[in-house]
């Protein structure tokens, strides 16, 4: 009993302290609540108006309206705003798309090549050392012109053999003539005459064989006739000459160089006054291409470079490209066509057809798409089209534009420039 009273005596002050703390906390909360109720109710309203002004909390309708405006700007980026007066001042002209007659043509790639009959690869016919050069790369030469001179021991030996054979033949002829006179005078025997005739025949045969070897070495009959009167140092001189007229496009020798008969060509001469245009014909078009069809060759800018007809269609299809070759022989007097050059061949396959066509300058490339410009309510916009054949300054329109529709016939490049200028300023890439 005494122990319990002692515990109560100790715990009572603690309980009293805890009760006092709880009352203080309750009072504080009540004061704070009262203060909050006495605040100006308009302060919260003012705070919402400030947020609204900054745009952080816009009405739903306004937010959608701004988004629609941005989206409209994106969609109208491929558009040039011009009124009638501005378009007139820029030279913009419009027309209605209409159909017209177009010749049935094939547009195929072609490559210019040398005429194989007008190319000369010239090698030496004897071994020797180059002692003089008469022509270099880029020079124009005539047929028979000297290109180089060689000092050749081989040729000197062949000429010496010929001169020896020529001398032996002359001696045999003299002996034969003498024996025949003596036979007529009954001074010599018939056997001596027959022997003289056999010796002369053998000598003549030896001389002809020596001459043939000189012909093979490039010595002509004129040089051969004057050989026995030539200077001694001329016996070793061999000349490399041009077999055709043309232009030297390659020379592989230099002074002092030793050349042989089995080496690479010393000179290459070409005559490009006539060239070949080899047209690559796809197998699906082979049935439309035949000899005699008219062909127009165009450059990259569409200009006409030459005209001709198909001379032959080779009966072989290339295994790699799966194309056949139609060859056009083209006169090239001004040397404008260069072998190795690629051109476009327009082959007239005959007949005519109706097609929707527009001036070629009306078709421009916009964002890598072929397009024509068409009018809108407040300007012009590009419309993608699919093109076909081109002829006489006009381009066929297969799709994207209909007959009767208005389009920009003049000034398409001006509109494209305006479009690209606006796009660059907006940060878009056209």
**How do residues 390-409 score in pLDDT, each as one tens digit?**
777 888 899 999 999 999 99
Cα dist from 391 to 110, 243, 352, whole Å: 18, 43, 12
Determine the pLDDT at residue 26: 42
**For residue 307, what are the contacts with CB-CB under 8 A and spacing of at least 6?**
294, 295, 296, 297, 330
Looking up residue 385, the CATH number of its domain turns out to be: 2.40.420.20
Shared domain check, 128 and 260: yes
* pLDDT of residue 428 exceeding 60: no
Do residues 218 and 237 share a domain? yes
Query: Which has the closest alpha carbon to 225: 163, 174, 164, 169?
Result: 163
Domain assignment of residue 204, yes or no: yes
Reply yes or no on whether the pLDDT at 246 is more than 50: yes
Averaged over 236-254, what is the pLDDT? 94
Per cent of the chain over pLDDT 70 is 79
**427 compared with 90, residue with greater pLDDT:** 90
Distance CA(175)–CA(193), nearest Å, equals 9
The reply to whether 231 and 173 lie within a common domain is yes
Structural domains of the chain, count: 3
In a domain, 71, yes or no: no
Of 244, 270, 296, at which residue does a domain stop? 270
Instruction: Report yes or no on 222 lying in a domain.
Output: yes
Q: Are residues 328 and 407 in the same domain?
A: no
pLDDT, residue 330, reads 95
Strand 304-313 versus strand 146-151 pairing type: unpaired
- Which pLDDT belongs to residue 219? 85
DSSP H helical ranges for 227-383: none
Cα separation, 55 vs 44, in Å, equals: 17
pLDDT tens column, 73-131: 344 458 888 888 888 898 999 999 999 888 777 889 999 999 999 999 999 999 999 99
CATH number of the domain to which 309 belongs:
2.40.30.170
- State which of 350, 374, 403 marks the end of a domain: 350
How many Å apart are CA 385 and CA 368, to the nearest integer?
12
Do 278 and 260 lie in one domain? The reply is no
Together in a domain, 229 and 318 = no
Entry pTM: 0.55
The lowest-confidence range among 23-32, 113-122, 149-158, 421-430 is 23-32
Look at residues 321, 350, 379 and tell me which one is the last residue of a structural domain: 350
Q: What is the pLDDT of residues 336-378, one digit of tens each?
A: 999 999 999 999 887 677 889 999 999 999 988 999 999 998 8
Same domain, 134 and 263: yes
For residue 52, tell me if it sits in a domain: no
Whether the pLDDT of residue 13 is over 70: the answer is: no
Above 90 in pLDDT, residue 280?
A: yes
Looking up residue 184, the CATH number of its domain turns out to be 2.40.50.100
Residue 252 has pLDDT above 90, yes or no: yes
Residues 109 and 138 in one domain: no
Q: What is the average pLDDT across 58-78?
A: 42
Residue 312: Cβ within 10 Å count: 11
Q: Highest mean pLDDT: which of 18-27, 182-191, 284-293, 337-346?
A: 337-346
Does one domain contain both 315 and 398?
no
Residue 19 lies in a domain: no
Mean pLDDT of 32-38: 41
149 and 291, same domain (yes or no): no
Residue 246 domain flag: yes
Question: Which of the four pLDDT bands, split at 50, 70 and 90, describes residue 425?
Answer: low
> Residue 420 domain-assigned?
yes
Residue 20 lies in a domain: no
Same domain, 153 and 122: yes
Q: Quick check: 259 and 151 in contact, CB under 8 A?
A: no
- Strands annotated E in 89-172: 93-96, 98-114, 119-122, 128-133, 140-141, 146-151
Structural domain harbouring 326? 105-115+273-350
Same domain, 281 and 164: no
- pLDDT for res 388: 80
> Looking at the predicted structure, is the pLDDT value of residue 142 above 50?
yes
What would the pLDDT profile of 174-231 be if each residue is shown by its tens digit? 999 999 898 888 888 889 889 999 999 999 999 999 999 988 888 888 888 888 777 7
């Amino acid at each position: 009993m005494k122990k319990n009273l002692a515990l109560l005596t100790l715990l009572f002050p603690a309980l009293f302290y805890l009760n006092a703390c709880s009352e203080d906390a309750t009072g504080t909360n009540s004061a704070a609540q009262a203060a909050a109720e006495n605040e100006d109710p308009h302060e919260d309203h003012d705070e919402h108006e400030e947020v609204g002004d900054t745009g952080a909390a816009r009405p739903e309708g306004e937010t959608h309206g701004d988004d629609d405006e941005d989206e409209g700007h994106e969609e109208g980026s491929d558009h040039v705003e011009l009124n009638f007066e501005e378009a007139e001042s820029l030279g913009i002209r419009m027309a209605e798309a209409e159909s017209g007659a177009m010749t049935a043509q094939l547009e195929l790639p072609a490559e210019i090549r040398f005429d194989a009959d007008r190319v000369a690869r010239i090698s030496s016919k004897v071994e020797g050392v180059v002692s003089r050069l008469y022509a270099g790369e880029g020079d124009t030469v005539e047929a028979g012109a000297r290109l180089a001179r060689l000092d050749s021991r081989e040729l000197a030996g062949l000429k010496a053999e010929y001169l020896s054979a020529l001398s032996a033949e002359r001696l045999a002829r003299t002996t034969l003539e003498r024996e025949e006179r003596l036979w007529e005078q009954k001074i010599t025997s018939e056997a001596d005459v027959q022997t003289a005739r056999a010796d002369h025949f053998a000598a003549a045969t030896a001389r002809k064989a020596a001459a043939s070897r000189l012909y093979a070495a490039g010595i002509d009959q004129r040089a051969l006739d004057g050989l026995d009167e030539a200077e001694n140092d001329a016996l070793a001189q061999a000349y490399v000459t041009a077999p055709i007229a043309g232009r030297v496009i390659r020379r592989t020798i230099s002074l002092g160089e030793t050349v042989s008969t089995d080496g690479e060509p010393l000179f290459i001469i070409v005559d490009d006054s006539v060239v070949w245009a080899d047209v690559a014909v796809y197998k699906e078009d082979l049935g439309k291409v035949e000899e005699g069809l008219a062909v127009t060759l165009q450059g990259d800018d569409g200009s006409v470079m030459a005209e001709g007809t198909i001379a032959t269609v080779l009966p072989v299809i290339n295994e790699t490209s799966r194309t056949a070759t139609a060859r056009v022989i083209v006169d090239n007097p001004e040397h404008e066509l260069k072998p190795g050059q690629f051109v476009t061949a327009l082959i007239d396959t005959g007949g005519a057809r109706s097609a929707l066509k527009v001036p070629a300058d009306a078709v421009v490339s916009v964002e890598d798409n072929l397009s024509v410009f068409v009018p809108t309510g407040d300007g012009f916009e590009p419309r993608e089209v699919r093109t076909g054949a081109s002829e006489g300054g006009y381009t066929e329109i297969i799709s994207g534009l209909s007959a009767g529709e208005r389009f920009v016939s003049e000034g398409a490049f001006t509109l494209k420039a305006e479009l690209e200028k606006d796009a660059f300023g907006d940060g878009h890439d056209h």
